[in-house]
Each structure stands twice: as C-alpha cells, then as structure tokens.
C-alpha cells in the first residue's frame, strides 16, 4: 500500500501508514543481503527491488527518496556492518565511535538508492517507460558512480547477487558486472510494472512479460558461450593460508612464528607456483632475513617454478608499497598495489582527518600507489595478472593486464573483518572477475576464503576459513579476450544512456 492510497485518511492514520512503509522498506533492504554470498539466493535481489518499486508507486518525489533511503540503509547496515569489526575489534576505535562511523558510512551509501527512488518518482512519464527503461538505467549509473566516487566502493552491487548461478551471470563476459546490474534492475522493473497493472486491474501487456523472458533466456544462452580457450600447459599451484589472527599479525613476539608457519607451508608444496597472501610477511622486504628468502627461492627453483610473496616494500626515498614480489626460476618481478583503501592504506584529507585516523591501531597508513598500467608477471610458465585485496572489486582496472595475462591472482588479508560475511562477499566479487575475463582466478588469503575459481565463476576448490593450509590445484592458463575485456564498462554505460533516451522519448509520447 502506498501513502497515496491513504490520502483521504486522518493525518494520524497517514503518519502510521508512512512509518509502516519506511519500516517495510528497511526490512526489504536488509533482506536483500540474502541475495548475495554466502546465501546466493539470486532471485531475492530481483524481488526486493521490485517490491521497492511497487512501494514507490504514487509517492511524491521526497517521500520516495525517504523510502529509497530506508531500503538502502537496511541493505548496507546488514550487508557491510563488518566495517565495525575492522574499526573497533582491530582498529581500536571506541565502540560508540565505531558504531557511529559505521552508521554514517552506511547512511552515505543509502543516498544512492534514495536518489534512484527520487528520480523514479519525480519524472512524469509513462509508467511502462519508467519501470522498464528509466529505473534500470538510473540504478545502474548510480551503482557505477558509487564504484568510483571518493575512490569508489562498488561492494554489493546488484549484479554481484547474480554471480555465478543466475542466468543473468551470462552477461558478465559481455557487458561486465554493471551490465548484470542493468539486467537485474530491468527484471525488477518489469516485475513491478506487471504487479502494478494487475493491482490496478489494467490489461497486463504481454510485451513486458516477453521482455523479461528474453532478458533471462539471452543470459542463459550467453552462459554457454566459451569466450576464451586454454593456452599452454596447465600449472600446479599452491595457495597458502597462514591463518594469522589480525590482532597478532604485526606483533613482534609473533613475527618469528608467522615466518616459520609460511616457510613450512611453502616447503611442503611441490607446486610450480606457490602464492602467499597479502602482506603475509609482516615486515618490510628489506628486513626479511636474506637466508629465509634464499631458502624459499631455492625451493621454488627445485620445483621448476616461482613463488609470489605478499610483503610491504620500502624504497630508499621512504616511500613504501603494498607489494607482491616473485622469487624463483624467473628474475624477480614486482606488482605494487594501485587502488589503495582509504583510511586503511592512505589518509584522504590528511590535514582534516589525520588526527582522528592516527588514533586507530592500523599500521602502514601511507602506502604509495603503484603503476596505473602494470604488466603481468611472467612466472611458472604463465603470465599472471596480480591484484591485491579489494582491487578485484574494480573490473575495469583488472582488465588493464589483459588479454596478455593467462591467469588472475588475488592476494588478500580480510582478517580485518573477523568472522563476518565479508570474506564470502569478497569471494563472490572474485567470481565475477573470473567470469568477466574468461580466466581462472586464484585467491590466496590470510584467513579465508582461499579458493580456485574457474572461467565460469564456479569455485572448483576452496580451503575452510580460519585454518592453516596450502590449497593445491592443477589449473590451465587461458588466452583470448571476452567482449568485456575489449570494451570495459563502456558498453554497459552506453546501453544505459540509450535506455534513458528511449525512456524519455517514449515515456513523454505515451504520456501526451
């Protein structure tokens, strides 16, 4: 029921209706989290988006914005509340301040669905055009904006909920994750419009039902396409998961045990490629004992391959990087992290916020950005596109190393988020990158989820979280380029622009 349906009710009754709508929108947003990992109920996202649209019907623009904000607040509070864990449990921020910071962060993210709802209600266009064309394009463009504004936070984009099980995942190699978002939002818009027609006892247009069916059938068909092909000999890999608790990771009395644990894991592996997690060695590369590195490199050479070691690296001029360095049969090569985490790896607006952030127990807050266009590392007979931690949330940055790269490797330390759903959400993001690029994705993490993901985005092997293990697999390299590798996000953005023009033109014509 919309607020408009109670327009002739007493003011007190209208307020009750309004409050119930806001609560319902909040609950719908919170429930949307079940559409994502670790639950993978992809249809939930379509249903809750459609329900939000149904609630907006007949609402004034600012009332719609409040409902969109409530939906977004519920979604992000339940979806990314693990931010509190990193701030309080491991960042030593007082609980009230950490809770407030998490709330404000989620409130900021909720502004994006609020704006989408406002635009939907504000435009006086034919409902069919708004639901089927304008809303999907607006929602997608706002998610894309969220992915780059203030360095970007694309986490929990609607498209990720469809990876890898939904037929809509078939769009990922063609138009990327924002294309999947567009298909998801379009499906929700069509469903909401069909419900609107039924509720108002209007004739249900078969065109809309046919459009929804076409979107899903096309996605299902695209899932069967092999966009890339195996290249060269498969390689044996071992992905090391040291399971070092975050609160102990940088303590001096724990350092020796951490080094020994990773040494033992590496030396127990006969794989040609051995991958350590992000900052697995919690001291600058120059301070790692040379004998330790020599032993690891010698072991890699005996295996006829290489190691990739996550370790901070400091240069003589004082700059330091979040680095992955190769050692073994090939000359030493480096990948230096480009997309740094605000507040965790660099401090934005340092004159204003430096004092506050300085109170956090977060080491190494001033990393330097690596090269904008890195080259794949040539190791173990493969060309490896390395990315560090949440860099794999930015698909258009990953494809900068393609199509030259034959494998993707992500090294992460999500111990910062404790026993939350964040590691599983991050795994789903990696699944999307494998789909977009038509490459295997190898994930080596400190506490989980360490996994091997195939070109269809399916997890073919994974280690249990919070265990110490070397996950071993036999994986092929891949060659070729998916359409997304060639076009990046441009195709999805162009499609959004086209839908907006069509929606505006057709919507005004039918309205008149």
Q: What is the pLDDT at residue 342?
A: 83
Domain ranges for the chain, please list them: 9-226+489-511, 229-477
pLDDT band for position 343 (50/70/90)?
confident
How far is it, in rounded angstroms, from Cα 214 to Cα 500? 20
Give mean pLDDT, residues 314-338: 94
Give mean pLDDT, residues 341-370: 69
Phi, psi of 488, rounded to the nearest 5 degrees: 65, -145
Contact 444, 409 (CB under 8 A): yes
Q: What is the pLDDT at residue 206?
A: 82
Give mean pLDDT, residues 158-184: 98
Domain 229-477 matching CATH 2.40.50.660: the answer reads no
How far is it, in rounded angstroms, from Cα 22 to Cα 63? 9
- Judged against a pLDDT cut of 60, whether residue 5 lies above it is answered with no
CA 89 to chain centre: 23
Strands 469-479 and 441-445, sheet pairing: unpaired
Give how far Cα 95 sits from Cα of 172, 294, 313, 360, Å.
40, 44, 33, 12
What's the half-sphere exposure (Cβ side, CA atoms, 13 Å) at 198?
Answer: 10
pLDDT band for position 9 (50/70/90)?
low
pLDDT band for position 400 (50/70/90)?
very high
Which percentage of the chain shows pLDDT scores above 70? 94
Among residues 389, 396, 397, 496, the one annotated as catalytic is: 389
pLDDT band for position 282 (50/70/90)?
very high
Supply the mean pLDDT for the chain.
92
Q: What is the pLDDT at residue 8?
A: 59
Among residues 337, 345, 436, 496, the one annotated as catalytic is: 337
Full 3-state SS string of 307-375: EEEEEEEECCCCCEEEEEEEEECCCCCEEECCCCCECCCECCCHHHHHHHHHCCCCCCCCCCCCCCCCC
244: left (phi over 0), alpha (psi -120 to 50) or beta: beta
Specify whether 502 is catalytic.
no
Give mean pLDDT, residues 358-373: 76
End-to-end CA distance of the chain: 27
DSSP state of 154: -
Contacts of 206 (CB under 8 A, 6+ apart): none
Among residues 278, 313, 396, 436, the one annotated as catalytic is: 278
CA 295 to chain centre: 36
- Judged against a pLDDT cut of 90, whether residue 222 lies above it is answered with yes
Specify whether 337 is catalytic.
yes
Give mean pLDDT, residues 257-270: 97
Which percentage of the chain shows pLDDT scores above 90? 79
Q: Which token pair is 401?
A: 């190393």
Q: What is the pLDDT at residue 506?
A: 85
CB-based burial label for 304 (10 Å; 0-12, 13-18, 19+): middle
- Judged against a pLDDT cut of 60, whether residue 181 lies above it is answered with yes
pTM value is 0.94
Q: What is the pLDDT at residue 1?
A: 46
459-489 per-position pLDDT tens digit: 999 999 999 999 999 999 999 999 999 999 9
CA 282 to chain centre: 25
pLDDT band for position 91 (50/70/90)?
confident
Range in 37-46, 72-81, 93-102 the model is least confident about: 93-102
pLDDT band for position 131 (50/70/90)?
very high
Give how far Cα 487 sits from Cα of 7, 155, 280, 309, Å.
49, 22, 35, 32
Specify whether 496 is catalytic.
no
């Amino acid at each position: 029921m919309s607020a408009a349906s109670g327009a002739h009710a007493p003011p007190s009754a209208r307020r009750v209706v309004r409050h119930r709508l806001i609560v319902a929108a909040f609950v719908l947003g919170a429930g949307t989290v079940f559409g994502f990992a670790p639950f993978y109920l992809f249809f939930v996202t379509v249903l809750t988006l459609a329900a939000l649209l149904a609630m907006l019907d007949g609402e004034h623009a600012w009332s719609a914005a409040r409902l969109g904000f409530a939906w977004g607040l519920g979604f992000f509070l339940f979806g990314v509340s693990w931010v509190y864990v990193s701030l309080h449990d491991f960042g030593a921020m007082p609980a009230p301040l950490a809770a407030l910071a998490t709330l404000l962060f989620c409130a900021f993210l909720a502004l994006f669905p609020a704006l989408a709802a406002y635009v939907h209600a504000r435009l006086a266009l034919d409902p069919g055009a708004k639901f089927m064309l304008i809303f999907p394009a607006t929602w997608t463009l706002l998610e894309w904006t969220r992915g780059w504004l203030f360095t970007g936070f694309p986490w929990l984009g609607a498209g990720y909920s469809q990876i890898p099980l939904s037929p809509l995942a078939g769009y990922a190699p063609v138009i990327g994750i924002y294309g999947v978002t567009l298909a998801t939002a379009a499906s929700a818009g069509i469903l909401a419009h069909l419900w609107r027609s039924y509720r108002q006892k209007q004739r249900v247009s078969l065109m809309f039902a046919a459009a929804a069916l076409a979107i899903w059938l096309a996605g299902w068909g695209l899932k069967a396409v092999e966009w890339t092909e195996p290249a060269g000999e498969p390689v044996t890999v071992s992905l090391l998961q040291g399971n070092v608790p975050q609160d102990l990771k940088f303590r001096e009395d724990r350092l020796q045990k951490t080094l020994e644990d990773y040494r033992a894991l590496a030396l127990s592996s006969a794989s040609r490629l051995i991958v350590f997690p992000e900052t697995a060695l919690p001291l600058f590369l120059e301070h790692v004992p040379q004998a330790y590195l020599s032993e690891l490199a010698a072991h890699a050479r005996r295996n006829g391959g290489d190691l990739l070691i996550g370790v901070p690296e400091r240069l003589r001029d004082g700059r330091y990087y979040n680095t992955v360095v190769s050692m073994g049969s090939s000359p030493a090569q480096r990948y230096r992290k480009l997309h740094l985490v605000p507040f965790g790896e660099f401090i934005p607006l340092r004159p204003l916020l430096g004092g506050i952030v300085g109170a956090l127990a977060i080491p190494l807050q001033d990393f330097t950005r690596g090269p904008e266009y890195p080259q794949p590392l040539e190791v173990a007979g493969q060309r490896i596109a390395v990315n560090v931690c949440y860099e794999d949330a930015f698909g258009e940055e990953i494809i900068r190393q393609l199509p030259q790269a034959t494998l993707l490797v992500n090294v992460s330390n999500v111990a910062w988020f404790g026993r939350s759903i964040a590691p599983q959400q991050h795994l789903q993001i990696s699944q999307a990158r494998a789909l977009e690029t038509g490459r295997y994705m190898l994930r080596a993490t400190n506490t989980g989820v360490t996994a091997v993901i195939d070109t269809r985005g399916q997890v073919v092997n994974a280690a249990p979280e919070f265990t110490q293990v070397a996950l071993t697999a036999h994986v092929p390299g891949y060659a070729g380029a998916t359409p997304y590798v060639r076009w990046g996000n441009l195709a999805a953005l162009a499609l959004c622009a086209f839908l907006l023009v069509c929606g505006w033109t057709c919507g005004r014509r039918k309205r008149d």
